Copies of this chain bind each other. A is one copy, B any other.
Amino acid sequence: MRIVAADTGGALLDDAYNPIGLIATVAVLVEKPYRTASLSRAKYADPFNYDMSGRQAIRDEAYLAVELAREVKPDVVHLDSTIGGIEVRKLDEPTIEALGITDRGKEVWKDLSKDLQPLAKKLWEEMGIEIIAIGKWSVPVRIAEIYSGIYTAKWAIEYARKNGKVLVGLPRYMRVDIKPGKIYGESLDPREGGLFGEIEANTKGVSWELYPNPLVRRYMVLEVWKE
């Protein structure tokens, strides 16, 4: 099975470890044995000017995933929204009303589906590829999340090189390792069966430290500064 998935993660933090805005939306192509991505594509947000309501993230993820899907022609596209693995092209108002989610979640999806339903319908009609809202059950979505942490580290290196110093928060229970010419990242949850990722990056001219976010158990902070 060849799966394209997308997720958004990594947050710019202030000195008290409070999130200011999210950093990286990533789409990945995941193939058997489903432990890493064979291809990844990132789009950076402006964390200083970010809508934290979550609505922007899922929209960005859908568009980036569709862009990658049109190129690599996967069997299916996974989005990070846990509404029962439903096909996004079928999300009309009555279907959303019938979902077992909160009223607030229904409002969000009624709004989102205005853009995402036509997008999903078009991908289905033109290429026969479904987009499903499978969320936390999907391993490819978790791999996309790990890559969003890796690309966040890349963003942090570039930011520190220009501005001196930066604190970013990685997605849940993952760590990164900044090596010469590349950034490696992996899940800290062994129950996931060894999920990881790696990208090439210019990693010169900075130092870094990784440690637990004292205010959010199971999340790590990456601190990067110019040497």
Give chain A's interface residues, CB within 8 Å of chain B.
1, 3, 16-17, 30, 32-35, 134, 136-140, 142, 172-173, 175, 188-195, 209, 211-218, 220
6 further A-B pairs in the complex, CB-CB below 8 A; given A138-B214, A172-B191, A195-B212 = A32-B211, A173-B193, A192-B217, A193-B211, A193-B218, A194-B212
Q: Which of B34, B136, B175, B190 contacts A214 (CB 8 A)?
A: B34
Measured CB to CB, the closest approach of chain B to A148, in angstroms, equals: 16
In the assembly, what is the distance between CA of A194 and CA of B17, in Å?
Answer: 19
Q: A1-B16, A17-B1 are in contact. Are A191 and B173 (CB under 8 A)?
A: yes
Report whether B215 and A33 are in contact in the complex, using a CB–CB cutoff of 8 Å: no
Contact B16 A214, beta carbon cutoff 8 Å: no
Q: How far is the CB of A66 from chain B (nearest CB, A)?
A: 19
Interface of A is mostly: loop
Neighbour of A217 across the interface among B3, B35, B136, B217, CB < 8 A: B136
Among B33, B139, B188, B215, contact of A191 (Cβ-Cβ < 8 Å): B188
Chain B residues with CB under 8 A of A215: 134, 137-139
A1 to B212, CA, bound (A): 12
Question: Which B residues lie within 8 Å of A173 (CB)?
Answer: 190-191, 193
A80 to chain B, nearest CB (A): 12
Taken together as a complex, chains A and B put the C-alpha atoms of A179 and B137 apart, in Å, by 31
In the complex, chain B residues whose CB is within 8 Å of the CB of A209? 33
Q: How far is the CB of A213 from chain B (nearest CB, A)?
A: 7
Q: Which of B16, B17, B33, B218 contacts A212 (CB 8 A)?
A: B33
Decide if A213 touches B139 in the complex (CB within 8 Å): yes
